[in-house]
């Protein structure tokens, strides 16, 4: 998620120095999303409420490095099905910033078929 958002921000002419400044964005997914939205990312991709809930839950863990290192204590992780926000960001932002994986279109079509099945 972080790399998808930062690729979009970098593509919109933010300098690499600003992008890597921990005081500006750091590893805060919410700051990255807010910055990307400032460059119009909502025209490309919008996260639904359930996806935003998962995104926010992961953001706290991600900033505290709880997804990298063992941290004791009780945690609540989003359901795997809620993590579709990561795929959605990559597949929506990727082609616009030059990421054209050969299977991206096939994955995207499978993804939208999956989502259509959920909405039935």
pLDDT in tens, 84-97: 787 788 778 877 78
Domain count, the chain: 1
For residue 61, the 8-state DSSP code is H
Compute the average pLDDT of residues 93-108: 70
| Residue whose tokens read 């400032």 | 38
Structure-token pair, residue 67? 């997804």
Rounded distance between C-alpha atoms, residue 4 and residue 33, angstroms: 10
Does residue 119 register a pLDDT over 60? no
Q: List all residues 6 or more positions away from 94 whose beta carbon is below 8 Å from its beta carbon.
A: 4, 7, 100, 101, 104
> What contacts 24+ positions apart, CB below 8 Å, involve 92-95?
92/44, 92/45, 93/4, 93/5, 93/7, 93/8, 93/36, 93/41, 93/44, 93/45, 94/4, 94/7
- pLDDT band of 81, cuts 50, 70, 90: low
Does residue 115 register a pLDDT over 60? no
Question: Which pLDDT score, from 0 to 100, does residue 38 have?
Answer: 94
pTM above 0.85, yes or no: no
Tell me the pLDDT tens digit for each residue of 7-65. 999 999 888 888 888 888 888 999 999 999 999 999 988 888 888 888 888 888 888 87
Q: How many CB atoms lie within 10 A of CB 90?
A: 21
Does residue 120 register a pLDDT over 60? no
For residue 7, the SS3 value is helix
Question: Which pLDDT score, from 0 to 100, does residue 96 have?
Answer: 79
Question: Which pLDDT score, from 0 to 100, does residue 37 have?
Answer: 94
Domain coverage including residue 114: 2-118
Pick the more confident residue, 10 or 100: 10
């Amino acid at each position: 998620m972080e790399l998808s958002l930062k690729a979009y921000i970098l593509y919109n002419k933010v300098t690499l120095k600003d992008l890597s400044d921990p005081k500006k964005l750091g590893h805060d997914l919410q700051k990255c999303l807010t910055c990307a939205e400032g460059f119009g990312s909502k025209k490309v991709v919008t996260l639904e409420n359930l996806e935003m809930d998962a995104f926010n839950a992961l953001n706290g863990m991600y900033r505290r490095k709880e997804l990298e290192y063992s941290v004791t204590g009780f945690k609540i992780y989003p359901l795997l099905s809620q993590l579709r926000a990561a795929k959605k960001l990559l597949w929506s932002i990727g082609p616009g910033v030059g990421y054209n994986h050969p299977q991206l279109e096939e994955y995207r079509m499978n993804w939208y078929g999956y989502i259509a099945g959920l909405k039935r």
